[in-house]
């Protein structure tokens, strides 16, 4: 069993437990549930830089990245730096995140917020909406076509945008459907953790133009972004590169200024 399989097994257990504690009615009563969505896809289409900056404390591939910042400091820094949107990791066991991080981010900034999570159930989409997210991530590697369809339709019914993440052509081909807004190519193989921009380059021409193209993971230089832009990528998700510094917002500001 690889790390991704383990995460999904744990996630399904976690969702069952949460459903037994917090009813859907409580999520729907949240002050953020009726909030109008801020569109990340619109921001990316109209940006010259396309940076989606990530709040990430740790990861399975790199135990601790940074535990020293408050969420507020990081996301305000990203907003001041000119990021198009912010990704907030909410998985606790493997990434040290929580839904509270999403809530704090929402209270701090006016940028589109992505709930970065291993989504396997509609309940998690309701959680995302209740905690102020504007879009969700669906990972093709862990979902069937039918699941991608039903989850993306449900997200859109709540006014949330959908970023679908793929790693290879097979995942891309099974996933293309009108209920997606953005398609992200993860340059990190989630099974081996090997990173290569070739994943993004090879899949670029296979992604239909109606979807905003996003390149994720392993982007640590201006050169990498300049290399990917000719392939039609409008969004670039960067987490570790900013979070591993002493000041994530400052690192993002310097990076974006160079772009």
The encoded tokens of residue 216 equal: 């994720």
At 116-166, the pLDDT tens digits run 999 999 999 999 999 999 999 999 999 999 999 999 999 999 999 999 999
| Average pLDDT, integer, range 188-211 | 90
Residue holding tokens 């989504």? Answer: 119
Q: For all residues of the chain together, what is the average pLDDT?
A: 95
Answering whether pTM is above 0.95, one says yes
CB-based contact 235:212 (threshold 8 Å): yes
Residue 130 is predicted with a pLDDT of 98
Alpha carbon distance 252, 49 (integer Å) = 11
| E strand or H helix that includes residue 160 | none
| Average pLDDT, integer, range 64-90 | 93
Residues marked active site are found at 54, 56, 116, 165, 186, 216-217
| Average pLDDT, integer, range 42-68 | 89
The number of domains in the chain is: 1
| Torsion sign (Cα): 124, 12, 163, 247 | positive
Give the domain extent around 233: 3-258
Alpha carbon distance 167, 176 (integer Å) = 13
Residue holding tokens 């369809």? Answer: 149
Alpha carbon distance 90, 95 (integer Å) = 8
CA distances from 234 to 116, 209, 238 (A): 19, 11, 13
- CATH code of 233's domain: 3.20.20.70
pLDDT for 247 beyond 80: yes
Residue-wise burial string across 133-144, b where 16 or more C-beta atoms lie within 10 A, e elsewhere:
bbbbbbbbbbbe
């Amino acid at each position: 069993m690889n790390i991704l399989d383990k995460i999904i097994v744990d996630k399904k257990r976690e969702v069952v437990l949460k459903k037994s504690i917090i009813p859907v009615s409580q999520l729907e009563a949240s002050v953020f549930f009726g909030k109008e969505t801020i569109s990340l896809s619109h921001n990316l289409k109209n940006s010259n830089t396309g940076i989606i900056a990530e709040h990430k404390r740790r990861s399975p591939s790199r135990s601790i990245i940074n535990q020293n910042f408050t969420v507020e400091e990081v996301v305000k820094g990203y907003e001041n730096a000119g990021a198009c949107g912010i990704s907030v990791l909410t998985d606790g066991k493997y990434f040290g995140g929580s839904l509270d991080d999403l809530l704090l981010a929402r209270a701090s900034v006016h940028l589109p917020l992505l709930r970065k999570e291993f989504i396997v159930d509609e309940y998690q989409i309701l959680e995302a909406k209740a905690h102020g997210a504007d879009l969700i991530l669906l990972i093709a590697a862990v979902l069937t076509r039918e699941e991608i369809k039903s989850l993306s339709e449900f997200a859109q019914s709540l006014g949330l945008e959908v970023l679908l993440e793929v790693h290879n052509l097979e995942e891309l081909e099974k996933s293309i459907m009108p209920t997606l807004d953005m398609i992200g190519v993860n340059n990190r193989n989630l099974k081996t953790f090997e990173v290569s921009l070739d994943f993004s380059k090879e899949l670029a021409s296979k992604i239909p133009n109606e979807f905003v193209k996003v390149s994720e993971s392993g982007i640590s230089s201006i050169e990498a972004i300049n290399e990917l832009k000719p392939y039609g990528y409008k969004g670039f998700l960067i987490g570790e590169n900013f979070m591993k510094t002493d000041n994530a917002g400052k690192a993002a500001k310097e990076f974006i200024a160079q772009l």
